[in-house]
């Protein structure tokens, strides 16, 4: 199997790796620490054929051998319960990695070994990384790795991933294991005795029909478990022969419990040999913290306190830094470019200054806020608090058809939609993540709130506060409605079960948090330098040509063509163009209006014009559309980056365009109906 290592490995060429090692584990086992340790910054997303979701990959070397590590999603089992579970088992069965490195958490060894019990039914070579032994010892759980190794019949490596201890040994053991032939582990979990004959009969029935590369015994087991994917597959391959198989399965609908029970019996035998458990009923530190942190009232107050702190940090530190970057990067850059380009034609100066620097620069000024949000989120996640926040918020999020874990990303949206979309990564279920991403732009960000705060007093005078609160509430109502519709449409009742692990609290691993923070910032800067750059230049051109001003530009003309649509909402074409330019950045609405009406943004100019041009219902309709309108360029680019799909990105635009315009029309026409003019 082993090939000689290449003399000069070059990342650009990405030579065929000598070995492929898959990292597998349940959630909260420190798997990403191990992955970051082994691969450093050399991570990339790889496209495996036929996969919609790409596992993260990274390269490393041991003994001169080039190894590709594949970080598979964290899963509790290998059923078809969730998309992640399907990704993991499809990868193991179809891509057949040389070795599977299973990382387990010593503090929850019993449940963690369930995944091992499942893996043993597949023809894979396994090395077990036993992480968090020290934390387990603090809990009074004493594990003897050598005894466990002897009981399981496969290599067990003690790890302290947070301190990089044992990681290299894990890699070497895996590389060594890859060179040896696959041997059957003598000690494998078995189905509970009362179902042994059924499994045997089933396996004999289906064996000739099981397609490559699926193992027949594994397939029989999954059929008995009621796994829908394997059931569909075998139904297709068995054809006429499905009937007797189906009859057996119908008689043994309870077999899942016999299989899972059998696995836990096997785990119990392994545990008895190698693990000393503490006396039960002792109150741990985690229990003490949880008495407060998961309390219906105190837990909520703690969560609000943390969020309050996060936003205080954003305003106290993030906003000044953002302003500083705006002055010293965007504005200074613009002036410098203008000075350098005095000899250049005006259109070229416009392209560089108003197109490239204004667009990309503005997006880059979001960096300090992203940095703050993701540092705090990373620490909370590593600490184990995120699961508690999800638990506390779950009953409220369920009303919106969302999971408790959607709460934090959505809440971040009030600051900025970009980190909110990125923050949805912490939601494991891909469909729930997608729904969260799609509804995120309905959370009013600071930029939109600033526009609202500027315009509401102009239109509504003393009633401005009521209008403002009403419009923010409208956004949240629409968010709930869209959330429920998407949930029914996309999930169709699946994933409604709420079962979530609450990991032990532990000190955060700053190195690992730093690594993923760095990855996010690099992704974001790459995005600003590519897609944002192109879109900025394109929008600048649309608002400049022909004629050199926005009045005569294509954007202006589009606005004028759309005038009939505007009239249904009581708006003139200038308002529509202002909405369109808010795509670059939401604050653009006000300067665009000022330019189009030929007045200054400061003082009474704009206020007079707007106040005289719009009736109150039309003004309300305009503000509602502005609050619900399509996401800004940076958010949209992030949606594309996170979903990796143009389809969902376009759908997000269409959805919000439809919702916002429908709301604008409903408000204006509704007001006309009830005679409010």
Partner 1 sequence: MFKHHRHHHRKIEHPVSNNGEFPLSQLPAGIAARVARVRGGHWLVNRIACLGFTPGAEVRLLQNYGNGPLIAIVRGSRLALGRGESEHILVKVIEA
Out of 35, 114, 524, 622, the only residue in the binding site for partner 1 (CB under 8 A) is 114
User: Taking the CA of residue 71 as centre, how many other CA atoms within 13 Å lie in the half-sphere pointing to its CB?
Assistant: 22
Nearest CA among 579, 614, 603 for reference residue 593: 579
- Listed in order, strand segments (DSSP E) in 112-219 are 126-131, 142-143, 156-158
**Shortest Cβ 86–partner 1 spacing (Å):** 13
- 375 binding partner 1? (CB under 8 A): no
Contact (Cβ atoms closer than 8 angstroms) between residue 72 and residue 91: yes
Nearest CA among 279, 442, 303 for reference residue 386: 303
- 119 binding partner 1? (CB under 8 A): no
In eight-state DSSP terms, residue 94 is I
CA distance 68 to 66: 7
Which residue lies nearer to partner 1 by CB, 272 or 395? Answer: 395
- 387 binding partner 1? (CB under 8 A): yes
- 111 binding partner 1? (CB under 8 A): yes
CA distance 656 to 76: 36
- 304 binding partner 1? (CB under 8 A): no
Out of 63, 197, 204, 287, the only residue in the binding site for partner 1 (CB under 8 A) is 287
How many residues contact partner 1, by CB under 8 A? Answer: 41
- 294 binding partner 1? (CB under 8 A): yes
- 109 binding partner 1? (CB under 8 A): yes
- 76 binding partner 1? (CB under 8 A): yes
**Shortest Cβ 79–partner 1 spacing (Å):** 5
CA distance 642 to 639: 5
**Shortest Cβ 264–partner 1 spacing (Å):** 5
CA dihedral in degrees (479, 482, 483, 485; nearest 10)? 160
CA distance 547 to 555: 12
- 27 binding partner 1? (CB under 8 A): no
- 194 binding partner 1? (CB under 8 A): no
In eight-state DSSP terms, residue 97 is -
CA distance 574 to 581: 11
Question: Going by C-beta distance under 8 Å and a sequence separation of 6 or more, which residues neighbour residue 377?
Answer: 386, 408, 412, 423, 426
**Shortest Cβ 228–partner 1 spacing (Å):** 7
- 108 binding partner 1? (CB under 8 A): yes
Out of 95, 277, 331, 641, the only residue in the binding site for partner 1 (CB under 8 A) is 277
Region of 257-265, 348-356, 443-451, 546-554 interacting with partner 1 (CB under 8 A): 257-265
**Shortest Cβ 374–partner 1 spacing (Å):** 25
Reduced to 3 states (helix: H, G, I; strand: E, B; else coil), residue 24 is strand
- 415 binding partner 1? (CB under 8 A): no
Task: Name the one residue in this structure whose structure tokens are 């600048």.
Answer: 540
**Shortest Cβ 384–partner 1 spacing (Å):** 10
CA distance 463 to 466: 5
CA distance 315 to 337: 30
Region of 224-232, 528-536, 612-620, 634-642 interacting with partner 1 (CB under 8 A): 224-232
Out of 391, 407, 411, 573, the only residue in the binding site for partner 1 (CB under 8 A) is 391
Which residue lies nearer to partner 1 by CB, 292 or 666? Answer: 292
Q: What are the residues binding partner 1 (CB under 8 A)?
A: 76-77, 79, 81, 107-111, 114, 141, 225-228, 253, 256-257, 260-261, 264, 277, 280, 286-287, 290, 294, 296, 387, 391, 394-395, 494, 497-504
């Amino acid at each position: 199997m082993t090939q000689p290592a290449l003399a000069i490995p070059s990342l650009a060429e990405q030579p065929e790796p000598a070995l492929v090692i898959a990292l597998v584990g349940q959630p909260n086992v420190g798997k990403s620490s191990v992955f970051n340790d082994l691969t450093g910054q050399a991570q990339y997303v790889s496209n495996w054929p036929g996969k919609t979701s790409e596992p993260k990959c990274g390269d490393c070397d041991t003994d001169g051998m080039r190894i590709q590590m594949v970080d598979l999603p964290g899963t509790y089992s290998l059923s078809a319960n969730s998309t992640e579970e399907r990704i993991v088992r499809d990868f193991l069965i179809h891509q057949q990695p040389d070795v599977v490195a299973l990382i387990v958490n010593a503090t929850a060894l019993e449940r963690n070994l369930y995944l091992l019990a499942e893996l043993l039914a597949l023809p894979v070579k396994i090395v077990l990384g036993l992480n968090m032994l020290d934390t387990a010892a603090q809990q009074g759980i004493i594990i003897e790795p050598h005894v466990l190794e002897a009981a399981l019949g496969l290599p067990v490596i003690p790890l302290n991933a947070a301190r990089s201890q044992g990681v290299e040994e894990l890699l070497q053991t895996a590389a060594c294991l890859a060179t040896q032939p696959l041997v059957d582990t003598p000690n494998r979990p078995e189905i509970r005795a009362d179902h042994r004959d059924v499994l045997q009969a089933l396996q004999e029935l289906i064996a000739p029909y099981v397609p490559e590369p699926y193992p027949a015994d594994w397939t029989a087991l999954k059929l008995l478990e009621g796994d829908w994917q394997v059931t569909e597959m075998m139904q297709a391959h068995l054809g006429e022969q499905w009937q007797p198989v189906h009859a057996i399965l119908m008689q043994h609908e309870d077999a899942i419990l016999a299989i899972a029970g059998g696995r836990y019996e096997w785990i119990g035998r392994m545990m008895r040999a190698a693990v000393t458990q503490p006396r039960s009923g002792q109150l741990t530190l985690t229990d003490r913290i949880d008495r407060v942190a998961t309390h219906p009232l105190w837990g909520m107050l703690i969560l609000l306190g943390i969020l309050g702190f996060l936003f205080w940090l954003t305003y106290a530190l993030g906003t000044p830094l953002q302003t500083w970057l705006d002055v010293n990067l965007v504005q200074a850059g613009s002036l410098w470019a203008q000075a350098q380009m005095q000899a250049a034609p005006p259109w070229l100066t416009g392209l560089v200054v108003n197109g490239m620097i204004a667009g990309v620069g503005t997006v880059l000024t979001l960096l300090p806020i992203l940095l703050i949000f993701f540092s705090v989120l990373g620490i909370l996640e590593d600490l184990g608090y995120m699961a508690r926040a999800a638990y506390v918020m779950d009953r409220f999020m369920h009303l919106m058809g969302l999971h408790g874990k959607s709460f934090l990303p959505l809440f971040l949206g009030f600051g900025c939609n970009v980190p909110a979309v990125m923050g949805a990564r912490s939601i494991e279920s891909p469909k729930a993540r997608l729904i969260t991403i799609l509804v995120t732009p309905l959370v009013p960000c600071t930029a939109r709130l600033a526009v609202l705060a500027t315009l509401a007093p102009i239109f509504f005078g003393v009633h401005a506060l009521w209008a403002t609160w009403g419009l923010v509430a409208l956004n949240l109502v629409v968010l709930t409605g869209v959330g429920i519709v998407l949930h029914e449409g996309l999930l169709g009742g699946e994933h409604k079960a709420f079962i979530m692990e609450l990991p032990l609290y532990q000190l955060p691993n700053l190195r690992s948090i730093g690594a993923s923070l760095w990855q996010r910032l690099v992704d974001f800067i790459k995005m600003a330098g590519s897609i944002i750059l192109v879109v900025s230049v394109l929008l600048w051109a649309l608002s400049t040509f022909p004629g050199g001003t926005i009045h005569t530009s294509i954007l202006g003309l589009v606005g004028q063509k759309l005038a009939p649509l505007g009239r249904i909402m009581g708006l003139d074409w200038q308002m529509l163009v202002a909405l369109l330019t808010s795509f670059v950045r939401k604050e653009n609405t006000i300067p665009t209006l000022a330019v189009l009406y030929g007045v200054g943004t400061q003082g009474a100019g704009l206020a007079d014009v707007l106040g005289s041009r719009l009736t109150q219902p039309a003004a309300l309709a305009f503000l509602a559309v502005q609050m619900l309108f399509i996401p800004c360029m940076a958010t949209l680019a992030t949606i594309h980056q996170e979903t990796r799909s143009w389809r969902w990105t376009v759908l997000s635009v269409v959805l919000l365009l439809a919702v916002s315009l429908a709301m604008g029309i409903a408000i204006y026409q509704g007001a006309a109906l009830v005679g409010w003019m």
